[in-house]
Amino acid sequence: MTVAVVQFGGSNCDRDAVRALTHLGIDAERVWHEDGLPSETTGVILPGGFSYGDYLRAGAMAARSPIMNEIRSAADAGTPVLGVCNGAQIGCESGLTEGAFTTNERARFQCEPVHLRVERADTPWTAAYEAGDVIEVPIAHGEGRFEITDERYDRLEADDRILFRYCAPDGSVTEAANPNGSIGNVAGILGESDHVAVLMPHPERATLPDIGGTDGAGVLRAFA
Amino acid sequence: MSLPESDLDLIVSELGREPTPAESVLFENLWSEHCAYRSSRPLLSAFDSEGDAVVIGPGDDAAVVAVPLSEHANTPPAERSPEDYSETYITLGIESHNHPSYVDPYDGAATGVGGIVRDTMSMGAYPIALTDSLYFGPFAREHSKYLFDGVVEGIADYGNSIGVPTVGGSVEFHEGYVGNPLVNVACVGLTDADRLVTAEAQSAGNRLVLVGNATGRDGLGGASFASEDLSEDAETEDRPAVQVGDPYTEKLLIEANEALIDESLVASARDLGAAGLGGASSELVGKGGFGARIELDRVHQREPNMKALEILLAESQERMCYEVRPEHVDRVAEIAERFDLGCSVIGEVTEGNYVCTFDGEVVVDVDSDFLTEGAPMNDLDAEAPAEPTVAVPDIGLAEAFEAVVSAPSAASKEWVYRQYDHEVGTRTAIKPGDDAAVMAIRETTGDPMDTSGDGTGLAISAGAVPNWTDTAPYEGAKAVALENATNLAAKGALPLAAVDCLNGGNPEKPAVYGGFKAIVDGLADMCSALSTPVVGGNVSLYNDSATGPIPPTPTLAMVGTRSGYDAPPAALAGEGELLVVGETGDRLGGSTYLAEFNGSDGFPALPDDPAAVIESIARVASLDSTLATHDVSTGGLAVTLAELVTETAGAEVTLETIAAAFDETPGRVVVETADSDAVRDAVAEGVPVRSIGQATPGGELSLTVGADSRTYDYEAIAALRSTIDSAFE
């Protein structure tokens, strides 16, 4: 019974994810990608970082590594899978979720707190919130602008696949509150099934009470 | 550059023969100013580097300091006993990458980060925080902005990739850096008594194993390049001496290093930096009193037909040299393989000379101690710095306030720190934009996963103020040390230890050397007065170009501790009384005000008992009734107050004179308090506490100086402070 936090070469939020889950009383361990998923895996996190240095395209190399086949099978079997930041890029590159996260509008790395509006509360990732809640979670990325064709975006909306949108503190979804130029202010989306999700903001950085806010803990409680 | 005649004579007489070409180049690099500190070492004995907290002082890859247990973190160091410290250690290191950052700002700065992180790793530590202190020519110059932009991007791309948060630092602009910017990078690492390793070889027969990137012809002669003035055509001429960084490999190396330390496979370690493999391997064995036998052919190489001296001297990045017991060599190779890193067993530690062979021939055969410690010291003439003249222009409040608050060195640095991942690692409790970063050292509770908030808070501050040391090198350097300590104290922490990065111009010029000597003495004297050991550092001389020498620049990275990680913010609540703790001076020497209006004045007097001031400020910051604290430094009280104002909280403040608004005497904080008596009770006798007004709801600053009153709202202040942001957006 453990959540596998998958470490690729260049992952750098793997320890943080384990620390956050441990704080929540959820058993978690770092798993080196070449070692494959442990047999008792009950959840998977693709953590943030710069897998393979982002040298080809963010997430592109990791998406093609053998462990991703195992993760897809686990997801198909109902195991919750969460991609955070670089993990979200990997999720999109591997087809777990639609669209792509690409270079920020300002073409610079941005590390800052943002507000997110919870779009759906009936998923494992948002069971701790109400729809319309506003939570504060930090971002730290240079390639977090969500991109997708208009047609597919409409389908995402129609299918209720959007999990979080960047918003103002009062919950209004405005251009000013969009840190990176994401289409529809999208910060996180669901895969085909509700138990697969990716998001650019870092819930594990907003979970530990000793260093600040804990608004992100609800997302990780999906693994409890 | 080649070996000076006198060095060559000494080498010939020691060896009893002419040096081989490879030996000549090794001596040239290892006896360079950059590696051997020939002009500075005679001065460095001024520093006090001992104390109960110091586990390893100067001379290793990084210093090692014990972290006090949380319940003793607020006890003044002089009153602590050895058992008040935990077995959790931090490492401290600082490095300059000045010349490379001028020639190629992106790669120069990036590889500076890589180097100091490897210095941390070689002590068996995991890097937990970086600071960057940057110095450029005037911001209005396009070339300064180009360098600034490139350096920040280089630091961001490298530091962010390797997952080490950049939590602090400083950015200064000054005419003296036009031809020679400075990039001073400090790293804090975390280790403990069990994991600690050193860069001192342990025993003959152990293997030397090179792990990391393949060696190519990059960065040849970087150490000697760093030991000359920058020539006018340096940007094209010296580009081959600048290395190119690969943060992905660095991150793999960090992970491999952790795995090696986890399994106790490392007898000693040294990172490959200045002077490449030759530097690292000879220093490693020399420090342990050994020699080595190294087969250069065994080094994994990136390009064909490399010569012996290229393999020896190349500064290819992301490489570590490990001393490994013979029975552990296979396991080390497996771990390197797991992380896709190259690995070669290049030789072994011996009782004899430092010997390198190539293609079956001996190319180096010298005593390692002579090679690494034998460089003669320079005895240079020093000319005492001149006293500043007095010419203080009389400027109206509004003009002065607006010029100083928007001056690039005083303005908001948000554009910089937003590009740095300052939160990865989930330890950063107080983030950039405040006086000091505070990192959660949960390990001192005995449980690294503890989230009670009861561990030891490690506060970090780094920087120097060139206007101060340009005006008065000795007093200015004392002020730099006091200012860094004040930053820590404003967040409730007491200084624990410091490392310095001493930057100067060409020391062969007596006026330059005199100024340099003065900053060394100034830093040393203030750190002694604060009982803060200076446990290591770096010297960078020859920061001199066609536009003249840089101002002597003593970057100090100081850490302090407090119980827990929570501290009052540097933002007003809007409801308390505003007090200044510490003495406001009446001299404007070194101030932003005078820099903006071309004046000159003597440097302000510093407190007689700086330790009492720092302890008082730290106590005040720890009071429950303290609502906000913010230190006073660049730009004086005017800038401190401007920075404290928020969208919803402001202040009404009355000061007697323009000098009181813009004087930059360090050792002062503005405190917003709900209980001014508690503040007065908390400070030591002789430390002044003065009321300057009231915090108010609503984001307006009303400032009265003499007969002149001005009011600025939050938006107006934000616009003034956005000098850097708006230039790049």
Provide mean pLDDT across the span B594-603: 96
The dihedral over CA atoms of B210, B214, B219, B221, expressed in degrees to the nearest 10, equals 50
Go through B488-515 and write b for each residue having 16 or more CB atoms within 10 A of its CB, e for each that does not: bbbbbbbbbbbbbbbbbbbbebeebbbb
Q: How far apart are CA B104 and CA B728, in angstroms?
A: 20
User: Beta strand pairing status for A100-102 and B689-697?
Assistant: unpaired
Asked whether residue A214 carries a pLDDT value surpassing 80, the answer given is yes
A110 touches chain B (CB under 8 A): yes
Pairwise CB contact (< 8 Å): B426 & A20: yes
Nearest to B243 by CA among B225, B230, B264: B225
Location of structure tokens 């020939």 = B38
Q: Which residue of A has its CA nearest to B455?
A: A210
Q: Which of B153, B255, B440 sits opposite A211 (nearest CB)?
A: B440
Given a contact cutoff of 8 angstroms between Cβ atoms, the answer to whether B30 and B279 are in contact is: yes
- Residue A76 pLDDT: 96
User: Which residues of chain B are within 8 Å of residue A205 when distances are taken between CB atoms?
Assistant: 423, 426
Q: Please name every residue paired with B190 in a beta bridge, in sequence order, or none if there are none.
A: B90, B126
Nearest to B539 by CA among B98, B77, B171: B98
CA-atom Rg of chain B in angstroms? 25
pLDDT confidence tier of residue B222, bands split at 50, 70 and 90: low
pLDDT confidence tier of residue B231, bands split at 50, 70 and 90: low
Tens of pLDDT, residue by residue over B660-680, are 999 999 999 999 999 999 999
Q: Which residue of A has its CA nearest to B417?
A: A111
Q: Which residue of B has its CA nearest to A213?
A: B429
- Residue B78 pLDDT: 87
Q: Which of A31-40, B39-48, B332-341 has the lowest mean pLDDT?
A: B39-48
Nearest-Cα distance to chain A for B253, in Å, is 10
Asked whether residue B236 carries a pLDDT value surpassing 70, the answer given is no
The answer to whether residue B72 is catalytic is no
- Residue A58 pLDDT: 87
User: Which residues of chain B are within 8 Å of residue A52 when distances are taken between CB atoms?
Assistant: 248
Asked whether residue B219 carries a pLDDT value surpassing 90, the answer given is no
Q: How far apart are CA B645 and CA B651, in angstroms?
A: 7
Asked whether residue B179 carries a pLDDT value surpassing 70, the answer given is yes
Given a contact cutoff of 8 angstroms between Cβ atoms, the answer to whether B613 and B529 are in contact is: no
- Residue A1 pLDDT: 78
Tens of pLDDT, residue by residue over A16-62, are 999 999 999 999 999 999 999 999 999 999 999 999 888 878 888 99
Q: How far apart are CA B216 and CA B342, in angstroms?
A: 13
Location of structure tokens 């240095």 = A53
Q: Which of A57, A109, A207 to mutate to test the interface with B (most CBs of B within 10 A)?
A: A109
- Residue B529 pLDDT: 97
Query: In which order are the strands placed within the sheet that holds A162-167?
Result: A28-32, A2-7, A41-46, A81-84, A196-199, A186-190, A162-167, A110-118, A134-141
Q: Which of A33-37, B64-68, B218-222, B317-321 has the lowest mean pLDDT?
A: B218-222
Pairwise CB contact (< 8 Å): A210 & B440: yes
Asked whether residue B637 carries a pLDDT value surpassing 60, the answer given is yes
* Amino acid (1-letter code) at residue B13: S
Pairwise CB contact (< 8 Å): A111 & B419: yes
The answer to whether residue B99 is catalytic is no
Q: Which two tokens stand for residue A174?
A: 């405005």
User: Which residues of chain B are within 8 Å of residue A110 when distances are taken between CB atoms?
Assistant: 418-419
Nearest to B268 by CA among B216, B337, B353, B328: B328
Prediction ipTM score: 0.97
A108 touches chain B (CB under 8 A): yes
Under DSSP, is residue B28 helix (H, G, I), strand (E, B) or coil? helix
Pairwise CB contact (< 8 Å): B453 & A210: yes
Nearest-Cα distance to chain A for B128, in Å, is 12
pLDDT confidence tier of residue B238, bands split at 50, 70 and 90: low
Exposed (0-12), middle (13-18) or buried (19+): which is B231, by Cβ within 10 Å? Answer: exposed
Q: How far is CA B616 from CA B187, B490, B527, B582, in A?
A: 28, 10, 17, 9
- Residue B232 pLDDT: 58
Provide mean pLDDT across the span B630-648: 97
Pairwise CB contact (< 8 Å): B426 & A208: yes
Provide mean pLDDT across the span B181-199: 97
Q: Which of B338, B417, B452 sits opposite A210 (nearest CB)?
A: B452
User: Which residues of chain A are within 8 Å of residue B255 when distances are taken between CB atoms?
Assistant: 9
Nearest to B461 by CA among B361, B588, B556, B535: B556
Nearest-Cα distance to chain B for A157, in Å, is 31
pLDDT confidence tier of residue B35, bands split at 50, 70 and 90: confident
Max distance between CA atoms of chain A, in angstroms, equals 46
Helix, strand counts (H, E) of chain A: 6, 11
pLDDT confidence tier of residue B100, bands split at 50, 70 and 90: confident
* Amino acid (1-letter code) at residue B62: A
Nearest to B549 by CA among B518, B583, B515: B515
User: Which residues of chain A are within 8 Å of residue B421 when distances are taken between CB atoms?
Assistant: 109, 111, 140
Q: How far apart are CA A145 and CA B296, in angstroms?
A: 48
User: Beta strand pairing status for B553-563 and B494-503?
Assistant: antiparallel
Which residue of the set A85, A93, A115, A141 is catalytic?
A85
Tens of pLDDT, residue by residue over B478-495, are 999 999 999 999 999 999
Asked whether residue B470 carries a pLDDT value surpassing 60, the answer given is yes
Provide mean pLDDT across the span A208-223: 97
Given a contact cutoff of 8 angstroms between Cβ atoms, the answer to whether B426 and A19 are in contact is: yes
- Residue B225 pLDDT: 61
- Residue B243 pLDDT: 78
The Cα angle at residue A100 between residues A95 and A104, in degrees rounded to 5? 160
**All domains of chain A in start order, with CATH:** 2-223 (3.40.50.880)
User: Which residues of chain B are within 8 Å of residue A86 when distances are taken between CB atoms?
Assistant: none
Mean pLDDT, chain B, whole residue set: 94
Q: Which two tokens stand for residue B23?
A: 């030996």
Sign of CA dihedral B566, B571, B574, B579: positive
The Cα angle at residue B27 between residues B24 and B32, in degrees rounded to 5? 130
Provide mean pLDDT across the span A186-202: 98
* N-term to C-term CA, chain B: 43
Asked whether residue B500 carries a pLDDT value surpassing 90, the answer given is yes
Provide mean pLDDT across the span A3-11: 97
In eight-state DSSP terms, residue A126 is: T
Pairwise CB contact (< 8 Å): B453 & A209: yes
Residue A39's contacts (CB-CB under 8 Å, 6 or more residues apart) are none
Exposed (0-12), middle (13-18) or buried (19+): which is B695, by Cβ within 10 Å? Answer: buried
Given a contact cutoff of 8 angstroms between Cβ atoms, the answer to whether B631 and B567 are in contact is: no
Tens of pLDDT, residue by residue over A138-175, are 999 999 999 999 999 999 999 999 999 999 999 999 99
Nearest-Cα distance to chain B for A171, in Å, is 19
**DSSP calls for B671-723:** EEES-HHHHHHHSPTT--EEEEEEEEESSEEEEEETTEEEEEEHHHHHHHHTH
Sign of CA dihedral A44, A50, A51, A56: positive
